[in-house]
Amino acid sequence: MLTRPVLVYDGDCRFCTTSVTFLERLLRPDCSITPWQFADLAPLGATRRRAEYEVLWITPTGGVHGGAQAVARLLLRTGGGWAVLGALLTLPPLRWAAHGVYRLVANNRDRLPGGTSACALPADRRPGQVPPG
């Protein structure tokens, strides 16, 4: 059973790893942070397919929030002014805008600073990955 939330991200993507490391240092959130490649996703209520698609915020009660809403939950958990920003990101129309920005960034992360061509490939075709089966 979880005692605190878990942030699950793509550990094969340098852009994602750099972003999470930066946020961890800046926000010092009270949560566990792990790449999906090292997480036991099923007990967390998540799937590999979803973890490949977006960052996940998993609550101790089993709630799973993805993408911009995972970021919003991270900010809420951090407290202070960050919590205000997180709360705003959960409200329409900011919620919708945050989702659009998140998808734009996630879909183009291989083109962003720190991104690599491996970020654009399906996980089972990334260098060093063993095909399932």
In a domain, 131, yes or no: no
pLDDT digit string (tens) for 54-82?
999 999 999 999 999 999 999 999 999 99
Beta-strand ranges (E) seen in the chain are: 6-9, 32-35, 56-58, 64-66
In a domain, 69, yes or no: yes
In a domain, 56, yes or no: yes
Domain tally for the chain?
1
Containing domain of residue 81, as a range?
6-115
Residue 25 corresponds to which tokens in the numbers above? Answer: 């240092």
Give me the phi and psi of 21, to 5 degrees please: -60, -45
In a domain, 128, yes or no: no
Alpha-carbon torsion (95, 99, 105, 106), positive or negative: positive
Please count the CA atoms within 13 angstroms of the CA of 21 that sit on its side-chain side: 8
Q: How many whole angstroms separate alpha carbon 55 and alpha carbon 13?
A: 12
pLDDT digit string (tens) for 76-112?
999 999 999 999 999 999 999 999 999 999 988 888 7
Residue 30: count other Cβ atoms within 10 Å of its Cβ: 10
